[in-house]
Amino acid sequence: MRLLALDTTSQHGSVALLEDGQVVAAREIHEQDGYSAVIFGVITELLAHVGWALHDLDCLAGATGPGSFTGVRVCLTAVKGLAEAINKPALGVSNLQALASLGNDAVRAPWLDARRGEVYGGLYDARGRALGPEVVTPREERQAGLDAEVEVIAGEGIALASAIGRIAYRRWRAGERPDPAALEANYVRRSDAELFSTPAY
């Protein structure tokens, strides 16, 4: 089973190719000006590097957020478009769940920078099951509200495509074959346009 995983939701974007759940190639992407102009070129180069064609893929997976609103949209648009082009399923994976999968303890608290002194946070068990809703909170409040035995996993500078791919592979093996059109963003926080818009009366 061959899978392409993609994350463009932060400044540390990444692409990974997996076969039977094992990463065979991965590449980090650092683009200050956004990913839309480069992402398909990186995917094409990585596929060529391992000798795969796009139609060799059995599934695609993408980060659904939380993260950069534009980055989330770029990621899901790319995954949906490629999956529909080759008529294959596409799975969405939360960035926080992917980050939690990199931990070691029974209970894990991943967090990602949400800017403005806030962080996106979640709480997961060792099997990747959410123990509560994903939230956005002030950084100090998040740190103070966690028990000492909880493993805190900071997402600063971590490329997540490989972790996203491994989670998606397990779900694919469990029988999930979602339509690409069903992929939805996981913003957690409303966009600046929504937060600062003036209501019309």
Report the interhelical angle of 39-50 vs 69-86 (nearest 10°).
50
Q: Can you point out the beta strands (E) in the chain? A: 2-7, 13-19, 22-29, 59-63, 90-93, 107-115, 118-121, 124-125, 135-138, 151-154
- pLDDT at position 13: 94
Percent with pLDDT over 70 in the chain? 92
| 54/81 same-domain check | yes
| 24/75 same-domain check | yes
- pLDDT at position 5: 98
* The amino acid at 59: C
Q: CA 36 to CA 143: how far, in whole Å?
A: 34
The predicted model scores a pTM of: 0.90
Taking only the tens place, the pLDDT of each residue in 45-62 is: 999 999 999 999 999 999
* 195, pLDDT greater than 60: no
Taking only the tens place, the pLDDT of each residue in 163-176 is: 999 999 999 999 99
| 90/23 same-domain check | yes
* Domain range enclosing 142: 97-154
Answer whether residue 198 is part of any domain: no
| 64/103 same-domain check | no
- Contact criterion met (CB below 8 Å) for 40 and 78: yes
* 108, pLDDT greater than 80: yes
Domain CATH code at residue 130: 3.30.420
Q: Based on the structure, what is the number of domains in the chain? A: 2
| 83/106 same-domain check | no
The residue-averaged pLDDT of 95-105 equals 97
Answer whether residue 90 is part of any domain: yes
| 46/128 same-domain check | no
**Residues pairing with 200 in the sheet:** none
Taking only the tens place, the pLDDT of each residue in 119-150 is: 999 999 999 999 999 999 998 777 666 777 89
Secondary structure (DSSP) of 38-59: THHHHHHHHHHHHT--GGG-SE
* 197, pLDDT greater than 50: no
| 60/110 same-domain check | no
Backbone phi and psi for residue 13, each to the nearest 5 degrees, phi listed first: -75, 165
* 194, pLDDT greater than 50: no
Q: CA 64 to CA 180: how far, in whole Å?
A: 12
| 7/75 same-domain check | yes
- pLDDT at position 140: 78
- Contact criterion met (CB below 8 Å) for 43 and 50: no
- Contact criterion met (CB below 8 Å) for 60 and 91: yes
